[in-house]
Amino acid sequence: MRPWSRSTFAIVVGSVLLGVMPALDQAGAQPKPIKIGEINSYSGVATPYTFPYKEGMALATKEINDAGGVLGRPLEFIHRDDKLKPDEAVKAARELVLQDKVDFLAGCISSGVGLAISAYAKDAKVLYFATHCQTSRLTWDDGHRYVAHTTNNVNQYVRVAAKKAASLPIKKWANISPDYEYGHNMWEEFSTYLKKLKPEVEFVQLNWPKLGESDHSSYITALLQSGAEGLFSSVWGSQSIAFVKQARPFGLFEKMRYVAPSVGNPDELDPLGKEAPVGAIATPFAWYDPGLNKLHPNLAAWSKKYTEWAKEKGLKDPSPKLGGSWGYASAYIIAEAIKRAKSTDPEKVIGALGEGFEMDFPWGKVVMRGCDQQALPPQWIGVVKMDAQGKPVAAEIEEVQGKDVVRSCDEVKELRAAAAAKQKK
């Protein structure tokens, strides 16, 4: 028998494959997943925050898909590492859109990364859900229809802290914040809102150590001299731990009330241990707080479910984290927006977001506001205390609704107009 020529072979194999393929497609009558390209920092210093976030997201995705998915299709997140760099993030976004053909983009822990992906999304006309970074510029100054923000922004929790500060019998406030955009933003928001609520306050000794400064003793002695009765701080992470450890033996926290949004989180309280700043006012996610659990009866069950899930996935610290709750909420909010649009067409989903909606989570109600596509979740404020075992925790938790403190839609419009005018110049 004459062997097949190369071209015959190609034709035969080719047609067999072509014939089989549609059959394969039907055999796996599985509906096509809704793909979301998720870009975040999954290596290096940010992983204590992003790993819990990713597992929260995975837990929610599993629940959504077990319950039949969205529009009958499963939800699928494709994760990419941005290495905390805006250019890496944009490269990943482009690949996800062009090669992986994702329907939506999501992610960010660094504000710089979030703004970069947002700018790409605007150009590419892909809807981007910012999930983990917190700058208010995302949906306000630099906001546009292709970006939505599924977690709170800086403005909300700083205003909650400022409101609490206004209720204290303190007139003279000092500041210590890292000298970069976030630090200046925080102080600006805090001081202006506090002044608005309580015009008689005075601001003294504004300190701007560099981001990541390790030795604050000169700032601390300067603060001691300032005569301030209250100290606002937006140093965070390792810098916050260093500051507290250095300030305590100088007696700084006895001289002035410490208000520091980040210091109530376990990633700062646990390393501080017995050196934690007892009495400090913070804005933590205190899932363990009895008062909060009374307010939200489903929270305990969720905390247990999340902890088991995180343990199974091998997280070193499987206890609930703010990041975990954010990943969880973000997946549900994205799913809800698609459900309401009854389509994965970005324009239709933007339409659904524009109408705004509310969702109930184990920790309370989250409002997705239509005018700026910005989430307004509940905010908490509490005081650092030692528990019965001598472990520092955030206690006396009070809940404030984000919608009660956040800038109004009209104010956001003004911000956007001002930003647009600035750009024209």
Partner 1 sequence: MDFVTSLFPWITNGPLIVVQVMSGLSVAMFLFLVSVGMSLIFGVTRIVNLAHGSFYMVGAYLMVTLVETLPEHAVSFWIALVLAPIGVGLLGGVIEVTLLRRIYHREPLLQLILTFGLILVIGTLVLLVWGPDNKSVARPDALAGSLKILGQPFPLYYLLVLGLAPVVAIGLWLTFYRTRWGMLIRAATVDREMLGALGVDVATLYTQVFMFGSWLAGLGGALSAPTVAVALGMDGDVLTTAFVVVVIGGLGSFAGSFISALLVGELQSFGILVFPAVSIVLLFAIMAVVLIVRPWGLLGRPEE
* Interface with partner 1, residue 188, by CB under 8 A: no
- Judged by CB under 8 A, the residue of 213, 229, 398, 399 near partner 1 is 213
Determine the residue type at 55.
E
CB of 192 to partner 1, least distance (A): 18
Q: With binding defined as CB under 8 A, does residue 88 bind partner 1?
A: no
Q: Least separation, in Å, of the C-beta of 54 and partner 1?
A: 14
Judged by beta carbon, residue 237 or residue 320, the one nearer partner 1 is 237
Q: C-alpha angle with apex 86: 85 to 92, nearest 5 degrees?
A: 90
Q: How far is the CB of 248 from partner 1 (least distance, A)?
A: 8
* 100 lies in the site for partner 1, by CB under 8 A: no
In the chain, the N- to C-terminal Cα span, in Å, equals 80
Q: How far apart are CA 425 and CA 415, in angstroms?
A: 16
Contact predicate 92/85, CB 8 Å: no
Q: C-alpha dihedral over 263, 55, 97, 333, to 10 degrees?
A: -80
Among 214, 301, 304, 342, binds partner 1 (CB under 8 A): 214
Binding residue count for partner 1, defined by CB under 8 A: 43
Which of these segments, 24-32, 65-73, 116-124, 202-210, binds partner 1 (CB under 8 A)? 202-210
Cα maximum dimension of the chain: 102
Question: Minimal CA–CA distance to 195: which of 172, 225, 226?
Answer: 172
Closer by beta carbon to partner 1, 226 or else 344: 226
Give me the least distance between CB of 202 and partner 1, in Å please.
14
Angle value at C-alpha 70, between 67 and 74, nearest 5 degrees: 75
CB of 44 to partner 1, least distance (A): 6
Considering the complex, state which of residue 179 and residue 387 has its C-beta at the smaller distance from partner 1: 179
Which residues from 40-69 bind partner 1, rule CB under 8 A? 44-48
Q: Which residue in the set 82, 189, 268, 289 belongs to the binding site for partner 1 (CB under 8 A)?
A: 268
C-beta closer to partner 1: residue 6 or 274: 274
Shortest Å, Cβ 395 to partner 1: 21
**Contact set for partner 1, span 246-265 (CB under 8 A):** 246, 249-251
Token pair in block for residue 154: 């800086």
In the set 91, 184, 245, 348, which binds partner 1 (CB under 8 A)?
245
Mask for 313-342, x = binds partner 1 (CB under 8 A): ---x--------------------------
The residues that bridge with 258 in the sheet, in sequence order, are: 231
> Does 234 engage in binding with partner 1 (CB under 8 A)?
no
87 lies in the site for partner 1, by CB under 8 A: no
Please identify, using beta-carbon distances, which residue of 182 and 219 lies nearer to partner 1.
219
Q: Which residues, listed in sequence order, are joined to residue 36 by a DSSP beta bridge? A: 77, 104
**Binding region for partner 1 (CB under 8 A) out of 146-154, 195-203, 215-223, 379-387:** 215-223
Q: Please tell me whether residue 38 binds partner 1 under the rule CB under 8 A.
A: no
Query: Smallest distance, Å, CB 250 to partner 1?
Result: 6
Q: Report the residue from 107, 237, 264, 402 that binds partner 1 according to the rule CB under 8 A.
A: 237
32, 210, 304, 342: residue in contact with partner 1 (rule CB under 8 A): 210
| Binding segment toward partner 1, per CB under 8 A, in 61-69, 268-276, 384-392, 401-409 | 268-276
Draw the binding track, 272-291, toward partner 1 (x: CB under 8 A; -: no contact): xxxx----------------
Query: Strands 75-81 and 364-369: what pairing?
Result: unpaired
The first and second tokens of residue 223, run together, are 């603060």
Write out the residues near partner 1 by the rule CB under 8 A: 44-48, 179, 205-210, 212-215, 217-222, 224-225, 237-242, 245-246, 249-251, 267-268, 271-275, 316
